[in-house]
């Protein structure tokens, strides 16, 4: 394997094929996690990787990684194309499916570290899939913590941010923290955001509060959040999935099922 081969991904969504330059260690690590977790129903299936010979004399060979095609696009795209807030049952359904995927990852003593809208995909049937394991890491077997402060800043928990030279160690509860941060000191020093009780249900307000506890010792884990009344009380997923599928069909102009 070349030490710096372009890593060409056939993405799980509708985005075009992309080329990313990665070193051999990073490539091997991501392939390891794709193979390990790709069989879970809430993780995009991994179909394999293969080399493509250089097309020109001075070009590098490409490693192509083939993942499950998620025609519904990303959660970020769904949010951006909807003219108003997503329905609360839709939010709950997506959160539940993401939590199932995270719980599976955490059971194997690993953390995804890059949970965000663009990395949460939807299939044509409205199923939810996690993608992009480039920042995924195994937890330290001795401490049960991750000691690397990586991730997308807008979605990082306070303890995952290196601040004033402090050790940024954190555990699996980091994945349930979805604070939108503009600058690092706001996450460190400000209180977590709260939903307006007059707009959202009390159970949803409580659920978000459980996700955003600033103290990781008080923050609920993915396993605990799956038992939260907001998640436990959701309508049958068949109903919610059908609504999302209908919305995606109209949005993307798919032909109606016969």
Helix (H, G, I), strand (E, B) or coil at 99: helix
Q: How many CB atoms lie within 10 A of CB 53?
A: 7
The CATH number of the domain holding residue 124 is 1.10.510.10
pLDDT of residue 148: 72
Catalytic residues: 114
- One domain, residues 204 and 135: yes
Cα angle vertex 31, ends 41, 22, to 5°? 130
Domain span holding position 55: 6-67
- Is the residue at 253 inside a domain? no
- Is the residue at 203 inside a domain? yes
Counted domains in the chain: 2
- One domain, residues 110 and 184: yes
Beta strands in 42-145 (DSSP E): 46-52, 62-67, 73-74, 110-111, 120-122, 128-130, 137-138
**Average pLDDT of the chain?**
82
Domain C-terminal end among 45, 67, 89: 67
Domain C-terminal end among 52, 67, 82: 67
Asked whether the predicted pLDDT for residue 156 surpasses 60, the reply is: yes
* pTM for the whole structure: 0.82
pLDDT of residue 3: 31
Say which residues have a Cβ less than 8 Å from residue 159's Cβ, sequence separation at least 6. Answer: 168, 169, 170, 174, 216
Asked whether the predicted pLDDT for residue 7 surpasses 80, the reply is: no
Rounded CA separation 200/204 (Å): 7
């Amino acid at each position: 394997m070349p030490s710096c081969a372009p890593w060409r991904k056939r993405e799980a969504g509708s985005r075009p094929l992309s080329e990313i330059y990665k070193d051999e260690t990073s490539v091997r690590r991501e392939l390891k996690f794709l193979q390990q977790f790709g069989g879970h129903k809430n993780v995009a299936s991994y179909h394999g990787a293969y080399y493509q010979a250089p097309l020109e004399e001075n070009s590098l060979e490409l490693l192509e990684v083939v993942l499950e095609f998620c025609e519904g696009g990303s959660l970020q795209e769904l949010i951006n194309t909807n003219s108003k807030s997503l329905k609360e049952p839709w939010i709950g359904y997506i959160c539940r499916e993401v939590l199932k995927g995270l719980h599976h990852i955490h059971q194997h003593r690993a953390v995804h570290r890059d949970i965000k809208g663009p990395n949460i995909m939807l299939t044509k049937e409205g199923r939810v899939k996690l993608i992009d394991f480039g920042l995924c890491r195994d937890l330290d077997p001795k401490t049960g913590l991750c000691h690397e402060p990586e991730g997308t800043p807008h979605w990082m928990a306070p303890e995952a941010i290196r601040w004033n030279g402090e050790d940024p160690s954190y555990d699996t509860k980091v994945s349930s923290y979805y604070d939108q941060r503009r600058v690092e000191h706001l996450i460190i020093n400000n209180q977590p955001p709260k939903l307006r009780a007059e707009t959202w249900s009390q159970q949803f307000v409580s659920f978000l509060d459980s996700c955003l506890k600033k103290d990781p010792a008080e923050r609920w884990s993915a396993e605990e959040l799956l038992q939260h009344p907001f998640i436990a009380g959701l309508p049958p997923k068949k109903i919610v999935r059908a609504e999302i599928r209908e919305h995606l069909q109209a949005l993307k102009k798919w032909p109606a099922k016969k």
